[in-house]
Structure 1
Amino acid sequence: MRNQLKTVALLGLLSGLLIAISYWIIGGSTGVIIGIALAAVTNFMSWYQSDKIALAAYRAQPISQNEAPGLYQMVQRLCDRGNLPMPAIFIVPSQAANAFATGRDPEHASVAVTQGILNLLPDDELEGVIAHELTHIANRDTLTQAVAATIAGAISFLAQMVSYSLWFPTSRNNNRGANPLGLLLTIVLAPIAATVVQLAISRTREFEADAGAARLTGNPWGLARALQRLDRMARQLPMTGNPAFEPLLIMNSFSGQFLGNLFSSHPPTETRVEQLLKLEQELPKTRSEFLLGR
């Protein structure tokens, strides 16, 4: 619940930033309104087609039940337990170990895993990863990320418009007497702030997905061990791809901490593991639950 409230608060902060910029710098300009509308439409279409875009970006290939019966059974068992429709399953032809879920809603969802993660993780840890991705689907995190991306995109669009107005002045914007400090904040700091908040939203959703996976499997340790393995693997063999899709992955795709946690789409692995171990104390520890029906 705390992470959900934090997500709502961060979305509100993004919205407030957008409104403040529009009011303070641009005002009621028709051109700005059109720009925001275009940004919203563009991001909505990206969200509506998010599964195709993300799957194509990682060259994910659909796989049939006959080709991967064990994986299908694992996903189906977790879907039945979580009362979710069966998603489409894809394999990413990469030796990097990672996974992601995408799709506009649970009825149009896909789960993709890399060949590397299938080779790396034992079944109980892989099950934790799959449960994590299914929790993203159940929580409609793709919608949350789409809303955040829409607002952040609109803020960046406004900043670009202000920047262009300085390079290509007209009599109209010359007479407005724009605040120089406001222009600086809009052009330089507003897009950075929007990105930071957007990434913070992503981090809150990761905590929720970890917790949901632990409850779905009844085995927080399985996911905790998986995260530790994936973190080590990411440092050795990072997953190549478009950084824009970083929030989709279960683990940061690029090794190193040179950007710091502020600009990371995921919480530190150590913190995620600590949260999972705390959750383990709250869950029943019967043998049947930990065996996951096997």
Structure 2
Amino acid sequence: MGNQFKTLVLLAVLSAILISISYAVIGGTTGIIVGVGLAAVTNLLSWYQSDKIALAAYQAQPVSAQEAPGLYQMVERLARRANLPMPGVYIVPSQAANAFATGRDPEHAAVAVTEGILNILPADELEAVIAHELTHVANRDTLTQAVAATIAGAISFLAQMVSYSAWMTTGSRDRATLRLEGDRQNANPLGILLTVILAPISATIIQLAISRTREFAADAGAAKLTANPRALAKALQRLEANARNIPMQANPAFEPLLITNAATGQFLGNLFSSHPSTEARVAALLKIEEQLITN
């Protein structure tokens, strides 16, 4: 299944969840119409602005060749090797060690690294991490991941608003509330409850199902681009250890963009992890190393 088709399927499913929220809250034809309009606006926003939203979520700051010459030249060299346009280069002001790429296509891509990752990784491992992110750009994973993060974030936000509204309605039985209830007589209370609980979970599962498979592909692409699979394997292990002490702080909807989980050891971490286990990724990289040696 091509990446563009996967993106369309992802947009359709997440849009359906948005429409379901609207229908559950408002009810009837009005709920569907409002939901369709909301989905259309969110899709357009995420398609054209998802890169800016992702960069803003992590407070990433653009840097020039003069401001960060070593990093900039490394990205430039790897982009040229991968036959990609030069992406924007950003630094995230965080001591957590992580990195991500975003952008709707290679011509509008950006690669961001944290201050923490610049501090703890040697040059060959940092190069492997950047190669991983550029592979995401080349595979156009950045569009799917950023769009998914934006829409999933919108779904979670709306579900929280619905939950808050329902709580306020229950706690205040004044005339204004009664009139509001009259206007929403077609709404389904059970549907609202299920929406509040299930919609964010569904959106998260859809994100993670795509994110996990694409991480293996990006790891393999980085190994090919650098001809040094072990460097990425070591980097992943180092980043996982760092995440135990300094978790990445940001909207959880954007975690699938990162090269590794923002934090480790969370409850149900394996079930709702945005990435495959580090052990599995390292094993796959070492297998690629064996194949390179054999060949």
Same fold (TM over 0.5): yes
Contact 2:19 2:35 in 1 (8 A): no
SS at match of 2:266: coil
Shift of 1:63: 1.9
Letter paired with 1:67:
E
CA distance in 2, matches of 1:207, 1:186: 32
CA distance in 2, matches of 1:61, 1:12: 28
Contact 2:99 2:113 in 1 (8 A): yes
Contact 2:94 2:114 in 1 (8 A): yes
CA distance in 2, matches of 1:272, 1:40: 37
Contiguous gaps of at least 5 residues in structure 2: 170-179
Contact 1:88 1:110 in 2 (8 A): yes
1:269 aligns with 2:278: yes
SS at match of 2:111: strand
Given candidates 211, 216, 223, the residue that maps to 1:207 is 216
Distance 1:108-1:5 versus aligned 2 partners, 3 A rule: closer
SS at match of 2:70: helix
Q: Residue 101 of structure 1 aligns with which residue?
A: 101
Q: Residue 42 of structure 2 aligns with which residue?
A: 42
Letter paired with 2:57:
A
CA distance in 1, matches of 2:64, 2:164: 50
1:136 aligns with 2:145: no
Contiguous gaps of at least 5 residues in structure 1: 287-294
Distance 1:10-1:266 versus aligned 2 partners, 3 A rule: farther
1:237 aligns with 2:246: yes
Letter paired with 1:101:
A
Deviates more, 1:216-225 or 1:11-20: 11-20
Contact 1:74 1:127 in 2 (8 A): yes
Listed one character per residue, the Cα deviations across residues 233-286 of structure 1 (whole Å, up to 9, x for unaligned) are 111112222323212211212232323222221221111111212222333678
Letter paired with 2:34:
I
Deviates more, 1:79-88 or 1:199-208: 199-208
CA distance in 2, matches of 1:12, 1:59: 26
Letter paired with 2:13:
L
What are the residue-to-residue correspondences of 1:55-204 with 2, within 5 Å? 55-149=55-149, 152=152, 168-170=180-182, 174=185, 185-204=194-213
Q: Residue 292 of structure 1 aligns with which residue?
A: none
Deviates more, 1:230-239 or 1:261-270: 261-270
Shift of 1:223: 0.5
Distance 1:170-1:158 versus aligned 2 partners, 3 A rule: farther
Contact 2:208 2:274 in 1 (8 A): yes
Contact 1:63 1:90 in 2 (8 A): yes
Listed one character per residue, the Cα deviations across residues 37-92 of structure 1 (whole Å, up to 9, x for unaligned) are 31331243144223333323333222221333322222122111111001111222
Contact 2:207 2:256 in 1 (8 A): no
Given candidates 198, 218, 221, the residue that maps to 2:227 is 218
Deviates more, 1:45-54 or 1:89-98: 45-54
SS at match of 1:91: strand
Contact 2:146 2:257 in 1 (8 A): no
Instruction: Give the number of aligned pairs.
Output: 282
Q: Residue 291 of structure 1 aligns with which residue?
A: none
What are the residue-to-residue correspondences of 1:9-20 with 2, within 5 Å? 11=10, 14=13, 18=17
SS at match of 2:263: coil
CA distance in 2, matches of 1:13, 1:103: 20
Distance 1:9-1:39 versus aligned 2 partners, 3 A rule: closer
Shift of 1:140: 1.5
Letter paired with 1:208:
A
CA distance in 1, matches of 2:187, 2:27: 12
Q: Residue 290 of structure 2 aligns with which residue?
A: 281
Shift of 1:197: 2.0
Cα RMSD of the aligned pairs, angstroms, is 3.7
CA distance in 2, matches of 1:241, 1:158: 19
TM-score normalized by the length of structure 1: 0.78
Distance 1:228-1:11 versus aligned 2 partners, 3 A rule: same
Letter paired with 2:64:
S
Listed one character per residue, the Cα deviations across residues 141-183 of structure 1 (whole Å, up to 9, x for unaligned) are 2221245357657866699779979965447x75x696x8766
Shift of 1:221: 0.8
Distance 1:12-1:111 versus aligned 2 partners, 3 A rule: closer
